[in-house]
Structure 1
Amino acid sequence: MTIKKVAWQIFVLWLIVLPFGLTRTASGSEINAVDTTGSIGFTGTYVPIGSPDPTPPHPETQPPVLDHAKPGGSLPQTNDAAQPWLIWLGIILLSFVFIQWKQTHAQHKK
């Protein structure tokens, strides 16, 4: 084997082995929940342009709001699902394409 061929094989092995150190998974948990009674308010004056269509119902005919809406259960979190098999599939595909490219490149040199 030539030194150049051995160097390429080591390079390809590094491409395969390197992601072992890069695929880290982390998870977190909620220590304590906080329930607030805060609300969002708006300041200023709204000046409508023309009359609204359809006309809104009279405020006395609307039922009063008695309770704030609270979500039930847990909400989806950012980066909640980890699928390392997709990373490995990509690494395998890239390695396969790289090896095929090197083989065709070597055949064209002959």
Structure 2
Amino acid sequence: MPTGQLSLSGPVARPAVGTLPIRGDLAHIALADRYLVAHYVAPQPRSVGNEGATLLCQPRPGSEEVATLEPGQAFEALDYAGDWCWGCCGPEGPTGYVPTAHLAPQDGG
């Protein structure tokens, strides 16, 4: 959580796609002291499934690849839409989309 006085001090350059976990509508809660968005999200801890996964820039097959995720690797889920999960490997990235089916089943479900 951010500490200290927060203020709007002018425009801030948006990071490149695939880097920090921030979109126009939401961002990882750890970025609240650096970026202003409509919503901040506390990540949901997940892990990559047994087959591994490719982190993509957009939620569609064939999109530009951001990183290769190893089986069992920790992943922080931030948003789900259809068959896709947008998330990151930590608050400093990398960030992108993976098919939800490529994440390990959640505990208790």
Q: Which has the higher strand share?
A: 2
More helix by share: 1
TM normalised by structure 1 equals 0.16
The TM-score normalised by the length of structure 2 is 0.16
The structure that has the greater radius of gyration is 1
